[in-house]
Structure 1
């Protein structure tokens, strides 16, 4: 790994129901498809694996809550931009580009 720098995005959840059931599933699938390790945390909370459905559900993140996405991967900036857009806009799938 080249970078060792942590990329971070703070984003407000755009799904009205928060990261529960369907939105959590969309987010976890998108994170897994991105192919880089990403964590998600509620503001001031402990980060969890964003590719784990159980971990994401355990956050209890509601619509309007702020979450923090982080990754140390080489292409983390682009991946986090796409994931942040997905979460902020409550999209049905990960955008190809931002």
Structure 2
């Protein structure tokens, strides 16, 4: 299991389209992936879970990945949250 703290840099935070993109990116990986904000942990492959965190620009979150491709997943998701760029 790997995890990394990230500051959400997306202009609109994780709402609507960026949240959908984040979920689609999470679903590319076999690993179990969670997003943690404060005391709340949600499945990063669930759009409703991601939206329920109400992450705005500047929010502090933690990405947690556990599985065969955890390193790749963690890297791709943190890059997206910090830059809104998709891997590859």
Scaled by the length of structure 2, what TM-score is found? 0.91
Kindly report structure 1 stretches of 4+ aligned residues shifted beyond 2 Å.
Answer: none
- CA shift, 1:36, in A, is 1.9
Higher gyration radius (CA): 1
Q: CA deviation at 1:57?
A: 0.1
Aligned residue number for residue 68 of structure 1? 62
Q: Which runs of 5+ in 2 are unaligned?
A: none
Q: How many equivalent pairs are there? A: 88
Q: C-alpha root-mean-square deviation of aligned residues, in Å?
A: 1.2
Q: Is the counterpart of residue 11 in structure 1 residue 12 in structure 2? A: no
Structure with higher strand content: 2
Structure 2 distance, partners of 1:33, 1:71, is 13
Matches within 5 A, 1:13-92: 13-42=8-37, 44-91=38-85
What runs of 5+ residues in structure 1 fail to find an aligned partner?
Answer: 1-5
